[in-house]
Amino acid sequence: MSVPVVPVIAAVTGASWEAALVAGLERDPSGITVVRRCVDLADLLAVATTGTARAVLLSAELRRLDRDALSRLAAAQVAVVGLYSPGDDAAAARLRQLGVGQVLPADAVPSDIAAAVAAAVSATLSSGPETAWSQPLGALPDGAGPDDVDAGAAGEIIEGPGTGTLVAVWGPTGAPGRTTVAVGVAGELARSGVSTLLADADVYGGVVAQLLGFLDEAPGLAAAVRLANNGALDVAGLARVAPQVSPGLRVLTGISRAERWPELRPAALEQVWELARSLAEVTVVDCGFCLEQDEELSFDTAAPRRNGATLMTLARADVVLAVGAADPVGVQRLVRGLTQLREAVPGASPRVVLNQVRRGAIGAEPRAQLRKALERYAGVRDISFVPHDRDALDAAVLQARLLGEVASGSAVRAALADLAAGLLPAGAHRARPRSRRLLRRGA
Ligand SMILES: Nc1ncnc2c1ncn2[C@@H]1O[C@H](COP(=O)(O)OP(=O)(O)OP(=O)(O)O)[C@@H](O)[C@H]1O
Ligand SMILES: [Mg+2]
């Protein structure tokens, strides 16, 4: 019986076990054929795009191996099997933390390596090239259990794998109020006793830090992504870069300057969201507006894509809030935006929030008018309304504090509190028995 041949790349140069490994595979009848040896990561990434190999055997010692590189291998449909020097548990843990699903000691017998290659190839085929950023995530690193997690003053940390809910706040161009809704909803969730993480992932420049009165450039989301990209982020590390700003509310500040967008790498950001599910019951993400997919770059799997972070976040979110401005231009932009959203992220079922609702912009009975328009042009029936309330928001912005702190009796705050409460019931909230809450410190 002939065994199908699986062409693989070996990227294990310099490892003491390289010669034994390759010789062992060559002798073995399991069908693994080393078609190419790569000396470094650049060589590997170049060869991966040629389509000559289905998988790569790579050494944990390969220099500059990071999540970004793994995402590029996934985009090229090259499955990854990680090999480490026997006994080097730290190297094994690092490979897993980077998201490598198949990890073996280099002295594993060839038939085990062949089985790992087969499993990695079938996982890569089922994820497909379009979801290069959605490669399987590594489990929490060994030893990142709750006992050695430093919760700081920020309340509880939940035992992994995380069960927290990811809420993406998105909306079309024209500043409809995505940030206002994200900050407001996160603030209200925290006030109602739900541990919350607010993250600013706007790739066009974030202002959450400024709105909440951060004076210095905080490490924030970019630092979390950098750590994740290097396979060095765990729940405790995420907690360290997400300071607490009020009881139960942590914040991951964003990139203040828009040109820093390449720092929000989708593959690593995906792991940040996964860990966030262990850090907070709800993570609220302020997303960029744009959903364009940089078509002209799509043949080049290695090129960074500005909106990759937004698209990945929307695809991963349990709840998407689609915020539109409640005026004729805002409604038209929202209707177009919802069509783009359905195309770009087919799985998302957004909940529509119309913000800045006022008579002057729409006429008498604005809610009824808005309902009619949204149903007619977007088939949307379920709408949340947030009233226009300049005074309340001015007070919050001026004092760099939450609406609940400076305008607790305002109509806009009441609407955002309702919106927050609506995120919690069974469907949206991942049920989690209270007994799994392990730590409660501070606030
Ligand atoms: N309900 C509201 N009532 C009054 N003003 C509002 C309301 N919501 C938002 N605003 C104001 O509208 C402006 C834009 O809001 P915001 O920054 O939240 O929009 P955005 O969609 O995040 O915009 P950007 O594209 O800049 O990220 C801000 O000045 C904000 O204070
Ligand atoms: Mg904004």
The answer to the question of residue 141 being in a domain is: no
Instruction: Judge contact between 39 and 18, C-beta under 8 A.
Output: no
The answer to the question of residue 139 being in a domain is: no
Q: Is 241 in the pocket of ligand 1 (CB under 6 A)?
A: no
Judged against a pLDDT cut of 90, whether residue 156 lies above it is answered with no
Mark out the alpha helices in 144-201 (DSSP H runs): 178-191
Q: Are residues 41 and 164 in the same domain?
A: no
Residue identifier of the C-alpha nearest atom 11 of ligand 1: 177
The answer to the question of residue 441 being in a domain is: no
The answer to the question of residue 417 being in a domain is: yes
CATH number at 317 reads 3.40.50.300
Residues 355, 361, 362, 366, CA torsion sign: positive
Q: Closest ligand to 208 CA?
A: 2
Q: Are residues 184 and 279 in the same domain?
A: yes
The model's pLDDT over 309-329, given as tens digits with 9 standing for 90+, comes to 999 999 999 999 999 999 999
pTM for this prediction: 0.78
- Ligand 1 atom at shortest distance from the alpha carbon of 394: 31
| C-beta atoms surrounding 126 within 10 Å | 9
Q: Is 410 in the pocket of ligand 1 (CB under 6 A)?
A: no
- Ligand 1 atom at shortest distance from the alpha carbon of 386: 1
Q: Are residues 206 and 294 in the same domain?
A: yes
Q: Are residues 108 and 179 in the same domain?
A: no
What's the pLDDT at 214?
87
Residue identifier of the C-alpha nearest atom 27 of ligand 1: 175
What's the pLDDT at 439?
32
Q: Are residues 106 and 168 in the same domain?
A: no
Q: Closest ligand to 175 CA?
A: 1
Q: Is 177 in the pocket of ligand 1 (CB under 6 A)?
A: yes
What's the pLDDT at 297?
53
What's the pLDDT at 426?
53
**Ligand 2 centre from 185 Cα, in Å?**
14
- Per-residue burial over 90-103, b if 16 or more Cβ lie within 10 Å, else e, is ebbbbbbbbbbbbb
**Ligand 2 centre from 267 Cα, in Å?**
23
Q: Is 202 in the pocket of ligand 1 (CB under 6 A)?
A: yes
User: Pairing state of beta strands 102-105 and 165-170?
Assistant: unpaired
The answer to the question of residue 364 being in a domain is: yes
CATH number at 90 reads 3.40.50.2300
**Ligand 2 centre from 277 Cα, in Å?**
23
Q: Are residues 171 and 240 in the same domain?
A: yes
Decide which of 134, 160, 195 is a domain's last residue. 134
Angle, vertex CA 31, rays to CA 30 and CA 32, nearest 5: 105
Decide which of 110, 134, 158 is a domain's last residue. 134
Q: Are residues 154 and 233 in the same domain?
A: yes
Q: Number of structural domains, the chain?
A: 2
User: Pairing state of beta strands 165-170 and 282-287?
Assistant: parallel
What is the extent of the structural domain holding 378? 146-436
Mark out the alpha helices in 217-344 (DSSP H runs): 220-229, 235-241, 266-279, 308-316, 328-344
Q: What is the mean pLDDT of residues 179-183?
A: 98
Q: Are residues 187 and 248 in the same domain?
A: yes
Q: Are residues 403 and 429 in the same domain?
A: yes
**Ligand 2 centre from 206 Cα, in Å?**
6
The answer to the question of residue 140 being in a domain is: no
Residue identifier of the C-alpha nearest atom 3 of ligand 1: 388
Q: Are residues 279 and 207 in the same domain?
A: yes
Instruction: Judge contact between 283 and 276, C-beta under 8 A.
Output: yes
336 alpha-carbon distance from chain centroid: 25
What's the pLDDT at 83?
97
**Ligand 1 centre from 287 Cα, in Å?**
14
The answer to the question of residue 367 being in a domain is: yes
Candidate from 169, 173, 179 with most ligand 1 atoms within 8 A of CB, to mutate: 179
The model's pLDDT over 3-17, given as tens digits with 9 standing for 90+, comes to 668 899 999 988 889
Q: Closest ligand to 361 CA?
A: 1
Q: Are residues 130 and 167 in the same domain?
A: no
Q: What is the mean pLDDT of residues 386-395?
A: 97
The answer to the question of residue 16 being in a domain is: yes
Judged against a pLDDT cut of 60, whether residue 434 lies above it is answered with no
Mark out the alpha helices in 76-177 (DSSP H runs): 89-97, 110-127
Q: Are residues 97 and 182 in the same domain?
A: no
The model's pLDDT over 206-254, given as tens digits with 9 standing for 90+, comes to 999 999 998 777 789 999 999 999 988 999 999 999 999 999 999 999 9
Decide which of 103, 134, 165 is a domain's last residue. 134
